[in-house]
Amino acid sequence: MLDLATTDLIPLYLAALVIGFSKTSIGGAGTIAVAVFAAVLPAKESTGIILPLLVLGDLFAISVYRRHADWGLLLRLFPYVAVGVVAGAGFVGLVDDTVMRRSIGVLLVLLVVIHVWRQRRLRENTDVVPMSATRRRWTSIGFGFLAGFTTMVANAGGAPMSIYLFTMGLGVMSFLGTGAWFFFIVNCFKVPFSVGLGLISVDSLWLDLRLAPAVVVGALIGWWLAKRLDIRTFEKWVLGLSVVSGLNLLR
């Protein structure tokens, strides 16, 4: 890991910058960084290398948005996320990487399409009834499991979680605060699984140390930008980047 050529390190530094940016601003950008790491490094090893960088970005995010989290929503979601993470850890060693990556890509694109379709119906048809309590619960179960599973398998939980938070009608600050605490807790929960699977090592941590400054710079840029985005612009960027990330996983 420490003998990477400069041509390999440059895209990794840029991807680390995007990780920091996604944590304090447009979350959908994070999966683009995941794709870059997987392209430069072996796919499975890249998930272990990127995880400490994600946790570092999470620390910056919760330091900025810690007061804006919807803890009721998070507490309802976490049990299903935990099940998804455990299921994802089991599948990492059993399922073909290509099939799994493409399946996740299809799911992400479908989720964006369904969300956009539903939001359009709500805007155009005043007779459309918002989700009932039962439907909201099943939505939490489905998205919680999917977010946990995809974040464990491919560090791609940002897209389903973003769509879920928009579905719940959160504003920009609540969106960022809830997402910040969610991913900090979930990514810390993933660490023992990644260590047990041999995805985090001394060499990988040394590489993380070299890339860490780029995460910090990206987080500061994202924090500056987030204060200047309205909710509609914010949603368009997140959903657009989620589609790009999903299509990238189909390759």
Q: Residue 85's CB: how many other CB atoms inside 10 A?
A: 24
**CA 240/CA 27 separation, integer angstroms:** 11
159, 28 Cβ separation under 8 angstroms = yes
pLDDT at residue 108, rounded to an integer: 66
How large is the average pLDDT for residues 113-127?
Answer: 60
* Reported confidence tier of residue 130, pLDDT bands at 50, 70, 90: low
Q: Residue 127 pLDDT > 50, yes or no?
A: no
Which sequence spans correspond to the domains of the chain? 6-249
Res 128: pLDDT: 44
User: Tokens at residue 139, please?
Assistant: 């939505």
| Own/partner pairs, 187-194, CB within 8 angstroms, 24+ separation | 187/51, 187/54, 187/55, 187/58, 187/151, 188/55, 189/82, 189/85, 190/51, 190/85, 190/151, 190/152, 191/51, 191/55, 193/85, 193/89, 193/152, 194/47, 194/48, 194/51
Rounded Cα gap, residues 240 and 165, in angstroms? 15
Sorting pLDDT into bands at 50, 70 and 90, what band is 53? very high
| Per-residue pLDDT band at 212 (split at 50, 70, 90) | very high
Contact 49, 206 (CB under 8 A): no
Q: Which residue has the higher pLDDT, 26 or 115?
A: 26
* Residues written for the chain: 251
Q: What is the pLDDT of residue 57?
A: 92
pTM for this model (two decimals)? 0.76
- The type of residue at 206 is W
pLDDT for 129: 46
- Percentage of the chain lying above the pLDDT 90 cut: 18
Q: Which residue in 128, 158, 125, 154 sits closest to 143, CA to CA?
A: 158
- The DSSP annotation for 58-71 comes to HHHHHHHHGGG--H
- Measured in whole angstroms, the distance separating CA 250 from the mean position of its chain's CA atoms is 17
